[in-house]
Structure 1
Amino acid sequence: MFPALFEVQTAHEEGGERMYLASTVEFLNDGEGNVRAIRVAETEYLDGRRVPKAGTEREIPADLVLLALGFTGPESTELADQLALPFDERGNVERAGDYQTSHPGVFVAGDAGRGQSLIVWAIAEGRAAASAVDAYLEGGTELPFPVRPTDRALAV
């Protein structure tokens, strides 16, 4: 058995803090459409679900909020029902070498086509897919095509 280690990451070195069993309740704005804070609350189990605990809410000032959510795969029911898109053996949307699905003019990049991966892959695939969309719409493109859907990380 391994001991529980809490490593200091760069975010912590820059003032970030860990909050356990907390839930975001609300994004608060400044009246002009800009975020000014998030309201968070401690959580508790009720009826087998984790829910915000009444009376524990507090605000955390913020002028930028980035959402980092766990990825569980593309919403296959909607994609299959609405576009009849096929999925691969891992549950990702099937795509060709130009990021296009079997439905003409529908392209897929990032986690929906690759599966859960690093943000740098999603960015690179987004750029490549944009190039493919430009070529599809315009008959050609000058945009770079940085990665192919079949590219994988280099082994170290």
Structure 2
Amino acid sequence: MATPRLLIPGLYELTLPMPLTSVNVFFLLTAEGVTLIDTGYPDHGAGVLAGLTALGRTPAEVKHIIVTHHHVDHAGNLAVLQRYTQAQIWMHPADADLVAQGQCLRPTLHGSPGLFNRLAFSLARMLLPRTIQPARVDHLIADNETIPVAG
């Protein structure tokens, strides 16, 4: 199992596997508790919890989960981690509605620009899940809003 890597004092990065690549989850440790940034690919919740344990922290210490966007590699474990931690969930409203419905792909009306992007998007649509376990979002983050974490 991967161990979180110290980036700067109080901020750790955990790299988790996903098909064809990997994804990072971040732990922000403060006196108030732990803030988790993103949750990783589905079925890797145990890896996130193991990373938390490796840092000497417990699920009860996770006070906030910030999800940067709704894609499967960022919100995939949100529902599971929400149950284990009882943390408050923060997300932009454009993505929060999709996560509440269990969606991790936004319907698109146009293709990605460039041949490589079109091929990568097509491959991702074939290999990656289109749904995740629905999850509750407690706080909708507005543009230019400051999230009250770490001062």
TM over 0.5: no
TM-score normalised by length of structure 2:
0.24
Greater RCO, 1 or 2 (C-alpha within 8 Å, sep 6+): 2
TM-score normalised by length of structure 1:
0.24
Structure showing greater radius of gyration is 1
Bigger strand fraction? 2
